[in-house]
Amino acid sequence: MDLKILLVEPNESVGDLIAKNLEREFGAKIVYYKSGADAVELIEKGEYFDLFVCRNSSLETVENPIEQIAALVLNALYDNSLKTPLIVIGDFEHTFKKYALISDRLRIEELNRLVLKALNLKKEEFDHLKLPDYIPFPIKYFYLMTLSPCDVFIKLTKKNGDEYVKRLHFGESFTKDDLKKYEDLGLSEFYILKDERELFMNGLLTQSLRNLRAPHSIDEAVVMTGDSFVISSDLIKSLGINSTCVVMVDQTIHQMRTQIAKADKLGLLLKKLLDNQLSYSYKRSYLICLMSYILLPKMEWGGSEQMPALLEKISMVAFFHDIYLDDEKLLKIMDMESLKKAKLNPRERDLVLSHANKAALLALTYPRLPQGVDIIIKQHHGVSNGVGFPEALTAAVSPMAVFFIVVEDFVTCILDQEDLTTFTTILKYLKQRYTLPTYRKIVTEIEAMVSKK
Shortest distance, position 262 Cβ to Fe ion, whole Å: 25
Shortest distance, position 408 Cβ to Fe ion, whole Å: 5
Nearer to Fe ion, 84 or 379 (CB): 379
Nearer to Fe ion, 151 or 322 (CB): 322
Shortest distance, position 268 Cβ to Fe ion, whole Å: 24
> Among residue numbers 401 through 440, which ones bind Fe ion (CB under 5 A)?
none
Nearer to Fe ion, 322 or 374 (CB): 322
First-to-last C-alpha distance (Å) of the chain: 82
Taking residues 289 to 328 in sequence order and writing x for each that binds Fe ion by CB under 5 A, - otherwise, the string is ---------------------------------x------
Nearer to Fe ion, 9 or 322 (CB): 322
Nearer to Fe ion, 50 or 322 (CB): 322
Shortest distance, position 415 Cβ to Fe ion, whole Å: 11
Taking residues 201 to 240 in sequence order and writing x for each that binds Fe ion by CB under 5 A, - otherwise, the string is ----------------------------------------
Shortest distance, position 380 Cβ to Fe ion, whole Å: 6
> Among residue numbers 262 through 281, which ones bind Fe ion (CB under 5 A)?
none
Shortest distance, position 317 Cβ to Fe ion, whole Å: 9
Shortest distance, position 395 Cβ to Fe ion, whole Å: 20
Taking residues 321 to 360 in sequence order and writing x for each that binds Fe ion by CB under 5 A, - otherwise, the string is -x--------------------------------------
Nearer to Fe ion, 322 or 445 (CB): 322
Nearer to Fe ion, 180 or 237 (CB): 237
Q: Which residues bind Fe ion (CB under 5 A)?
A: 322
